[in-house]
Structure 1
């Protein structure tokens, strides 16, 4: 098929949702303005004339592009009503240029040049780029027949709640329109739309009518394998930056986000999940309460404590409910004074205390097991007010035997030293590990727990502190704001007691998957696997291997995100990985990817005489 030599680019947008002080088409993605990338792609595809419909900061666009660009003649049509109209009006302003085969492109779409080639190779007079719908997308969607013919084109206003978007394709907003279609149908219909007052309409309405009429079949070309993104808001901009950046830059971006990885095309073995909870029935109940939870204030501490007490079966006066364990850890940093931190452990504890108030008690490598007598004696000599330990440990995934923790609590109590045990992962252990039932008998014991990990609700942010020392509980509670837990978390706590059995079953499934994952990882040559008790597995890589390099290559080559232990207070941290357990298939894929990465690493240099 003939390659178009003309393109019309709609570049009049304001970018209100982006909060821009520059023209939206000049927004930079991966170091290059969207419009400049588009024009480069058009020039490479053989286009010799580019028509830009501009509006907001039109002079800025003219200055950036000029009257010619990469061998193309560039002309401009300025919209006089870009603040109050939509793209149908912008395109109508350029209707005299719709006189031959043309690429029609919206100025907020960043894409690779292969996309234009895919359109040229398709048969037909009306060809539109599409991609399989994903949850982060919005806008016009189509259904496709087996031959790629569009069956329906549905603008957002036509997408009712009954529409299964997973079965649709999102329009990329890059089209190839042939001269015959433009002359016989598209331009007359566009002129009629504007004449009928459709200044606020979208030109997709015309193509949708073409689909319905059937005289010109509309061909959808699946461009899901080509990089592209439509940038409407800041979330879109972040996703586009990620998509068009180099692998190491992507990894850095993700590490700086600390979450939200579900929006990106990767498998997340870094953050820690219970993929089997909450069940869909609980989620549906939360959805029914969505509006009330959104618009009304949540309850205060006392009522929340009662709700949580019903879940964990503890007197409410012993509880502090928090916006995740991190909120509690921050408060402990201001209350406990000088502390002994048993390391390696959760880094957040090291972050909240002044370095001068931290005494680190190192679990001996490479076993990382705890001796209660040695820890108690070192804490006594260091003159600390509290000892903090994570069990199961993060990152080792190994739980301290319950009897050893009881022994430690009693030894510390003899010296009036508080023991804080972070049990955020204890539900993934075999039953009977938690110290919560012994709270009243163990003077000075405090339990901290994140609910986000075990209950699979990282987005809700729930955690709690539990102690029989009611004065200490009151001091922690006094450091919290009145409304520290949101309405959705409150609703979750109300519903949770009904799903106790489902939660117990979900933890058992995670244990099974985790143990199978550990067995798979143990088949990797030279890799030592630590016996896991949490929902992740720590491994030690072969001598000379760099965990950071393995993280980079596993992400770059396999799209799998994992965590190295280089930032942990442990010797040779860059030789260890912490691997989150996911589904059996994903765990198998991770193991296979690690096998490839480790096999391809450079062999260690030989030493000694030849």
Structure 2
């Protein structure tokens, strides 16, 4: 068996990175694509590797000459690479195709060793590696029958998003049996080039072959094996995180702060959303209005304040809507001068806006719990202008009951301190949701120094819409906030969601009840895992202390690399000292079980 690599293209979409070098010389985590591919091929015992070069061909050949590759390497030069496509590059290597079984691959791919091994070890002679289609993918897709025969190669013109459940993306790695190349592929390749020219893709020949009555090439489905195609700088950025290792991989993926639909096998236990809401009917209603929402401007701030106020039973003058709670937190911290009182460890979006003006209370217990009386006693002697309470707190899940929060609001009025209550997670707390919340018109009117912040993303499970609200009885201050925000600070999808959300309050309540049952079982199961101490939580996450020398950063890296599970390593958060803590989101039972099993495996043995 031999390999043929197509490496003649210019890679223009990688811009400066391919200005003086071919695309396969671009590095991912310090190693060029071509070195990775050749090293993996070199371990397969092939008779030779044929490389079709073109753009910066001499530079590529010279570079390959510096690598320690034992397999004989042959070059084919496509001198008219600038006006042909990859069908012509393969045409130039057609004589090699007819001589041996062949692994055919493109040079802009990065893949793990298991990908090639899967293809080589499969006994079927002619195969196209395929992966289940994901929303981020681009290029040729195929459909398969029950026996993995390729029914059709589907290009951009015939692609239908309504059929994506049936589609598989070609990985652009193939195995062509010698007989298949002689009887089918090469004759059709010659005829196709003669009839339609050289500015086409070699997959077009396969598309024609699949129209024959007798299937001669099958699809081989990948099952989680890692690969990526690098066409542009964004692809390169994602590949850097996919193929990094250990803590470096954790750093790169965590540093993206979301966008994890580009990582279809990743289970995200780091970011915090409601796993049971929204329901299918609400989503279907959003889908039904998609085109209208996409092609129309949203309303301005005043209208959206009215929509949000209606849902929470407030006056529009009391409410400001934000592009997520993060926008409102930024505005609030900028508009209130003076020192900020906060608790450590906590959600750091607030203190990060007041880094040089902080008064910090740190609970003196391993669960990092605290009471209203402790906070009032501590901050009563401090010169602060604003006090923030995250309730339940993040990451500890610590919770102060409503009656005690009201005492704090009254205390803040007497002290002339602005009191910010962030209750983004309060709906997850035990008890009646409406009774737990301070988003009430009479409460806000009674305590003008009180401001209530709520992230719609977290409790309502719609982080992609970027919605948050702040409400307060100081309507003059709220009015100033609205003027500081952009008039179109939320999009039409967010506005429409708020408009229809009231119809689904019953579904939301039922989802929360279901969630609380799952959390209870989750907490109990975490308590059975050795070297792990879960902290009781009233939120949609559980903070856990690692015991007996286990390291939170190492555990997070291992869970990501071995199991595709992303958790929050809390070692970088302020307030923990030298203790090791992690935070685990609560998800649906099947996903929770995956994490629990991984934790049992990694924490059952001695410290590693």
* TM-score relative to the length of structure 1: 0.90
> Residues 5-20 of structure 1 correspond to what in structure 2 (within 5 A)?
7-20=3-16
Q: Distance in 2 between matches of 1:15 and 1:38?
A: 17
Pick closer, same or farther for the CA change 1:393–1:108 going to 2, 3 Å: same
* Residue of 437, 447, 457 corresponding to 1:434: 437
Distance 1:10 1:456 in 2: 45
* Alpha-carbon distance in structure 1 between the residues aligned to 2:342 and 2:51: 62
Change (3 A) 1:196 1:466: same
Equivalent-residue separation in structure 1 for 2:302 and 2:490 (angstroms)? 12
Asked if structure 2 preserves the Cα contact closer than 8 Å seen for 1:427 and 1:507, the reply is yes
Bigger drift between 61-70 and 393-402 goes to 61-70
| Distance in 1 (alpha carbons) for counterparts of 2:317 and 2:342 | 27
Q: How does 1:381-400 map to 2 (within 5 A)?
A: 381-400=381-400
- Correspondence for 1:343: 344
Q: CA deviation at 1:224?
A: 3.1
1:122-271 → structure 2 map (5 Å cutoff): 122-123=122-123, 125-145=125-145, 147-163=147-163, 165-215=164-214, 217-224=216-223, 226-264=225-263, 265-271=265-271
What displacement does 1:174 show?
1.4
Aligned residue for 2:424? 424
Provide the residue aligned with 1:60 in structure 2: 59
**Matched residue pairs, number?**
596
Greater shift after overlay, 257-266 or 116-125?
116-125
Verify the 8 A CA contact 2:545 2:582 in the aligned structure 1: yes
SS for the counterpart of 1:347 is coil
The structural deviation recorded for 1:560 is 2.1
1:410 touches 1:443 (CA, 8 Å); kept in 2?
A: no
- Between the aligned partners of 1:591 and 1:118, the Cα distance in structure 2 is 30
> Who is 1:312 aligned against?
312
Match of 1:566 in 2: 571
The answer as to 2:471 corresponding to 1:474 is no
Question: How far apart are the structure 1 equivalents of 2:244 and 2:389?
Answer: 39
Q: Is the 8 A contact 1:548 1:574 kept in 2?
A: no
Q: Alpha carbons of 1:226 and 1:220: their partners in 2 closer, same or farther (altered >3 Å)?
A: same
- Offset of 1:589 from its aligned partner? 2.8
Q: Measure, in 2, the Cα distance between the counterparts of 1:545 and 1:95.
A: 57
Structure 1 window deviating more from structure 2 (222-231 vs 407-416): it is: 222-231
Q: Is the 8 A contact 2:423 2:453 kept in 1?
A: yes
Alpha-carbon distance change, 124 to 510 in structure 1, aligned in 2, over 3 angstroms: closer
Contact 1:124 1:217 in 2 (8 A): no
Whole-Å separation in 2 of the counterparts to 1:552 and 1:350: 27
TM (norm. structure 2) is: 0.90
Distance 1:20 1:93, change over 3 A: farther
Deviations for 1:370-416, whole angstroms, at most 9, x for unmatched residues?
34344234323211111111001111112211111111111121121
Partner of 1:108: 108
Q: 1:91 to 1:602 in 2, by over 3 A?
A: closer
Contact 1:521 1:591 in 2 (8 A): yes
Partner of 2:535: 530
Looking at structure 2, the residues matched to 118 and 195 of structure 1 have their Cα atoms a distance apart, in angstroms, of 35
Q: Deviations over 1:562-587 (max 9, x none)?
A: 22332333344633222110011222
What is the CA distance between 1:274 and its match in structure 2?
0.9
Alignment partner of 2:526 out of 521, 524, 547:
521
> Residues 133 and 297 (structure 1 numbering): CA distance in 2 closer, same or farther, change over 3 Å?
closer
Q: Distance in 2 between matches of 1:392 and 1:277?
A: 19
CA distance in 1, matches of 2:593, 2:162: 36
Q: Which runs of 5+ in 1 are unaligned?
A: 604-610
The 1:406/1:118 distance shift into structure 2, 3 A limit, reads closer
How far is 1:369 from its partner? Answer: 3.6
SS in 2 for 1:359: strand
